[in-house]
Amino acid sequence: MIQPSDDALLVLFANGDGQAARELTARLGPRTYAVALRVLGNRAEAEDVAQEAMMRLWRVAPKWEQGRAKVSTWLYRVTLNLCLDIKCRQRSVDLDAVPEPEDGGPSVADRLQDSSRMDALQGALMQLPERQRQAVVLRHIEELSNPEIAGIMDISVEAVESLTARGKRALTAALSGRRAELGYDND
Amino acid sequence: MTDDTDLEQMFAAARTQRDHLPDVLSARMLADAVQVQAEVLAPEPAARAGLWSQLRAGLGGWSGLSGLATACAAGVWIGLAPPDFLPDPVGLVYQQELEVDLIFGVDETGILTEDG
* Chain B residues inside the 8 Å CB shell of A31: 18-19
Q: Is A106 on the interface with B (CB under 8 A)?
A: no
* Chain A residues inside the 8 Å CB shell of B36: 55, 58-59, 61
Domain ranges in chain A are 1-97, 102-187
Chain A: closest CA distance from residue B23 (Å): 11
User: Does any domain span residue B52?
Assistant: no
Question: Same structural domain for residues B34 and B66?
Answer: no
Q: What is the largest CA-CA distance in chain A?
A: 56
Please give the pLDDT value at position A100. 46
The domain of B8 spans: 4-41
Partner B, chain A 24-83, Cβ-Cβ below 8 Å: 24-26, 29-31, 33-34, 38, 47, 50-51, 54-55, 58-59, 61-62
* Chain A residues inside the 8 Å CB shell of B12: none
Q: CA B29 to CA A53: how far, in whole Å?
A: 9
Q: Does A25 sit within 8 Å of B29, measured CB to CB? A: yes
187 residues of chain A, pLDDT tens digit each: 678 899 999 999 999 999 999 999 999 999 999 999 999 999 999 999 999 999 999 999 999 988 778 999 999 999 999 999 988 876 544 545 444 444 445 555 665 666 777 888 999 999 999 999 999 999 999 999 999 999 999 999 999 999 999 999 999 988 887 766 666 665 5
If one counts the domains in chain B, the total is: 2
* Burial label, B33 (beta-carbon count in 10 A; 0-12, 13-18, 19+): buried
**Which residue of chain B comes nearest to A139, CA vs CA?**
B11
User: Does any domain span residue B17?
Assistant: yes
Nearest by CB to B11, which of A13, A31, A140?
A: A140
**Which residue of chain B comes nearest to A100, CA vs CA?**
B17
Chain B: closest CA distance from residue A115 (Å): 10
CA distances A25 to A22, A38, B98, Å, are 5, 19, 93
Question: Same structural domain for residues B66 and B108?
Answer: yes
Q: Which CATH class is domain A102-187?
A: mainly alpha
* Chain B residues inside the 8 Å CB shell of A59: 36
Q: CA A44 to CA A42: how far, in whole Å?
A: 6
* Chain A residues inside the 8 Å CB shell of B33: 13, 18, 21, 24-25, 54, 58
**Which residue of chain A comes nearest to B7, CA vs CA?**
A172
CA distances B71 to A154, B58, B77, B78, Å, are 68, 17, 10, 11
Within a 10 A sphere around the Cβ of A159, how many other Cβ atoms?
A: 16
Please give the pLDDT value at position A101. 43
User: Does any domain span residue B31?
Assistant: yes
CA distances A176 to A108, A121, A124, A173, B7, Å, are 25, 11, 10, 5, 10
Question: Same structural domain for residues B74 and B104?
Answer: yes
User: Does any domain span residue B72?
Assistant: yes
Please measure the distance between the N-terminal and C-terminal CA atoms of chain B and give it in whole angstroms. 132
Question: Same structural domain for residues B34 and B64?
Answer: no
3-state secondary structure chain A: CCCCCHHHHHHHHHCCCHHHHHHHHHHHHHHHHHHHHHHHCCHHHHHHHHHHHHHHHHHHHHHCCCCCCCHHHHHHHHHHHHHHHHHHHCCCCCCCCCCCCCCCCCCHHHHHHHHHHHHHHHHHHHHCCHHHHHHHHHHHHCCCCHHHHHHHHCCCHHHHHHHHHHHHHHHHHHHCCCCCCCCCCCC
User: Does any domain span residue B84?
Assistant: yes
Chain A: closest CA distance from residue B37 (Å): 6
**Which residue of chain A comes nearest to B12, CA vs CA?**
A141
Q: What pLDDT, in 10s, does the model give residues A144-172?
A: 999 999 999 999 999 999 999 999 999 99
CATH topology classification for A1-97 = Rna Polymerase Sigma Factor; Chain: A (1.10.1740)
Question: Same structural domain for residues B106 and B67?
Answer: yes
- Global ipTM: 0.80
Mutation for testing the A interface, residue in B3, B4, B8, B17 having most A CBs under 10 Å: B17
Instruction: Collect the ranges in chain B with pLDDT lower than 70.
Output: 1-3, 44-49, 65, 72, 86-116
Task: Enumerate residues 6+ apart whose C-beta is below 8 A from A66.
Answer: A7, A8, A11
Please give the pLDDT value at position B18. 84
CA distances A19 to A4, A58, A61, Å, are 12, 13, 15
